[in-house]
């Protein structure tokens, strides 16, 4: 399986990063070795001094497809989950400065903790799903899919024009504003609506 991530998909986050709002989805990838499951602890890597949390809704692809029309994209995922796109912000800043790829800042081991998934049928409106991240009991990021620049269906259509999607692939759909540093000892808890789906510690 593969993990496809979307950058700058919420205007307020693009603004806090001093990045322009994109005219088409910004796409990057993480390898399967980035996955961290079952609320296992994340070990703070020694190559960064500025590790940031980015809480994101995650789509699980349920059927293989390519060149998917936006109108059919909803048939390619059944479940929505929540995850963290851990980012070594200091390394990313250096990559950006030199125009280099972001993988060292984004794709390292354990950089994609994911929690449980919920069937999308439980949501009345996929364009109005609230989600959030709490650190040590305090809410640090809150998002709502109504603020997505590119909807789930548009993302699936766009990505599948370049890369064949396969069953089990994950799409991290972008982070809302409020990204910031984590440190050893922090406990991260992520919620979709009032459902706690991810709960782990930084060590």
Contact residues for Zn ion (CB under 5 A)?
A: 54, 85, 175
Closer residue to Zn ion in complex, CB, 48/175: 175
User: At closest approach, how far in Å is the CB of 85 from Zn ion?
Assistant: 3
CA dihedral angle for residue 160, residue 95, residue 108, residue 77, rounded to 10 degrees: -20
The residue nearest Zn ion at its CB is: 85
Q: Which of 146, 121, 112, 139 is nearest to 196 (CA)?
A: 139
Q: Which is nearer to Zn ion, 26 or 126 (CB)?
A: 26
Token pair recorded at residue 65: 């497809």
Residue 86 vs 191, nearer CB to Zn ion: 86
- Nearest approach, Cβ of residue 17 and Zn ion (Å): 10
CA geometry: angle 11, 9, 72, nearest 5 deg: 130
**Closer to Zn ion at the Cβ: 20 or 137?**
20
Minimum distance from residue 67 beta carbon to Zn ion (Å)? 25
Sheet with 112-119, edge to edge strand ranges: 26-30, 3-7, 170-172, 55-61, 77-84, 112-119, 35-36
Q: Smallest gap, in angstroms, from Cβ of residue 131 to Zn ion?
A: 13
């Amino acid at each position: 399986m593969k993990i496809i991530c979307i950058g700058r998909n919420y205007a307020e986050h693009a603004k806090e990063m001093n990045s322009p709002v994109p005219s088409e989805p910004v796409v990057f990838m993480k390898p399967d070795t980035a996955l961290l499951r079952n609320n296992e602890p994340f070990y703070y890597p020694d190559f960064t001094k500025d590790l940031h949390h980015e809480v994101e809704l995650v789509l699980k692809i349920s059927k293989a497809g390519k060149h998917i029309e936006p109108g059919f994209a909803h048939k390619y995922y059944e479940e929505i989950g929540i995850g963290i796109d851990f980012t070594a912000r200091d390394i990313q800043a250096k990559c950006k400065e030199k125009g280099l790829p972001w993988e060292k800042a984004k794709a390292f081991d354990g950089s994609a903790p994911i929690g449980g998934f919920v069937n999308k049928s439980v949501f009345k409106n996929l364009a109005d799903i609230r989600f959030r991240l709490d650190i040590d009991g305090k809410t640090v990021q809150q998002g709502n899919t109504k603020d997505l620049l590119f909807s789930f269906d548009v993302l699936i259509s766009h990505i599948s024009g370049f890369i064949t999607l396969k069953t089990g692939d994950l799409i991290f759909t972008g982070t809302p504003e409020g990204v910031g540093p984590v440190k050893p000892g922090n406990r991260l808890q992520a919620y979709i609506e009032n459902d706690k789906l991810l709960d782990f510690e930084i060590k």
